[in-house]
Amino acid sequence: MANGTIAIAAAAVLAIVAVATAIAQGMTASKAMDAIARQPEAAGGVRGALVIALALMEALTIYAMLVAFMLVGKIVV
């Protein structure tokens, strides 16, 4: 594969995943705040679930970054 194609693929992977993760985290936090506003007594459980969900989303972003680094490692100078 050409070096330029690999570089573009790595950049595209990071860009798409970063945007998708940001949107997903925003929507998740919004829904969690709605849930806490409707039932304040459930705030602890909602907050715990929110933290776990955000951590899993962030882990997917880190995996995408790992894939991008692996693609960049394939570039031969």
Q: What is the pLDDT of residues 48-64, one digit of tens each?
A: 999 999 999 999 999 99
Is 25 within a domain?
yes
The answer to whether residue 6 is domain-embedded is no
- Three-state SS string over the chain comes to CCHHHHHHHHHHHHHHHHHHHHHHHHHHHHHHHHHHHHCHHHHHHHHHHHHHHHHHHHHHHHHHHHHHHHHHHCCCC
Domains held by the chain: number: 1
* Position 77 confidence tier, pLDDT thresholds 50, 70, 90: low
Per the structure, the complete domain to which residue 32 belongs is given by 15-72
Q: What is the CATH number of the domain that holds 25?
A: 1.20.20.10
49 located within any domain: yes
pTM score, two decimals? 0.80
